[in-house]
Amino acid sequence: MNKTFSIAIDGPAGAGKSSVAKALAAQLGAMYLDTGAMYRAFGLAMLRAGVDIHDHDAVAAHADSVVIDVDYVDGGQRICLAGKDVTDAIRTPQVSEAASAISAVAEVRRRMVALQQQIARGHNVIMDGRDIGTAVLPDATLKVYLTASALERARRRCLELEQKGTPQPLEQVLAEIEARDYRDTHREASPLVVAPGAVTVDTSDMDMEQSVAALMALAADAGIHR
């Protein structure tokens, strides 16, 4: 029986982690877990409960009571909050802001890491996030730090928003991404860093196909095959 493998993909917002990880999982026949969606679900729970997302103590008090489940339907990940599917509801700028704020709370990260490790146990898994290679899968078969310039990430985000019918000015999106980068790299709880042993891949000048090919090559070098 082949030994299970795991791939940890970390990086800043808008680097294409989720899209690349999904494609990689499909090609390698692995389970994909979008950990950011779990933080978004928690952030949505705080917004709906009227909790001040910038009050760490108030958010921490709910760390163990928010019920988040991950289901897989037709090969796609669905996120449930208290038994209800919120996969689409968590993809708003307001929820993104909430997710960024609550992710700095140590008690929330502890809960999320435990859930993520539980889901990954015994599976070939690919996870993307901010602390996968450092906290969730420190012994991952392959660790990747996927990044791109802030301007390129802002451009990609603007295109995504435009396609959704909710366009925003590039300057605004760029400012939000730079602010998110600062929060992610300066928080006390599991700050975004390049994990020990991780390979940095800059996708600024790569399209999706090239990005996936680059990671597939790294997987092969690490002895990971379908």
* 126-142 pLDDT tens trace: 999 999 999 999 999 99
* 105-128 pLDDT tens trace: 999 999 999 999 998 998 999 999
Instruction: Decide if 143 contacts 133 (C-beta within 8 A).
Output: yes
The strands making up 142-147's β-sheet, listed across from edge to edge, are 31-34, 125-129, 6-10, 142-147, 199-202
* 135-166 pLDDT tens trace: 999 999 999 999 999 999 999 999 988 998 98
The strands making up 84-85's β-sheet, listed across from edge to edge, are 68-73, 76-81, 84-85
Residue 40 sits in a domain of what CATH number?
Answer: 3.40.50.300
Q: Please indicate, yes or no, whether residues 20 and 130 belong to a single structural domain of this protein.
A: yes
Whole-number Å distance between alpha carbons of 218 and 216: 5
| Average pLDDT of the residues in 182-200 | 92
Q: Please indicate, yes or no, whether residues 98 and 130 belong to a single structural domain of this protein.
A: no
Q: Please indicate, yes or no, whether residues 4 and 54 belong to a single structural domain of this protein.
A: no
Q: Please indicate, yes or no, whether residues 196 and 167 belong to a single structural domain of this protein.
A: yes
φ/ψ of 79, rounded to 5, equals: -105, 130
- Residue that finishes a domain, picked among 92, 122, 152: 122
Question: What domain range is 95 assigned to?
Answer: 35-122
- Residue 141: burial class (beta carbons within 10 Å; 0-12, 13-18, 19+): middle
Q: Please indicate, yes or no, whether residues 156 and 104 belong to a single structural domain of this protein.
A: no
pLDDT exceeds cutoff 70 at 1:
no
* 197-211 pLDDT tens trace: 999 999 999 999 999
In the chain, the number of structural domains is 2
* 45-99 pLDDT tens trace: 999 999 999 999 999 999 999 999 999 888 788 999 999 999 999 998 899 899 9
- Residue that finishes a domain, picked among 122, 155, 186: 122
* 33-60 pLDDT tens trace: 989 899 999 999 999 999 999 999 999 9
Q: What is the pLDDT of residue 187?
A: 86
Q: Please indicate, yes or no, whether residues 24 and 132 belong to a single structural domain of this protein.
A: yes
Q: What is the pLDDT of residue 2?
A: 57
Q: Please indicate, yes or no, whether residues 110 and 174 belong to a single structural domain of this protein.
A: no
In the chain the beta strands, taken as DSSP E runs, fall at 6-10, 31-34, 68-73, 76-81, 84-85, 125-129, 142-147, 199-202
Q: Please indicate, yes or no, whether residues 184 and 72 belong to a single structural domain of this protein.
A: no
- pTM of the prediction? 0.86
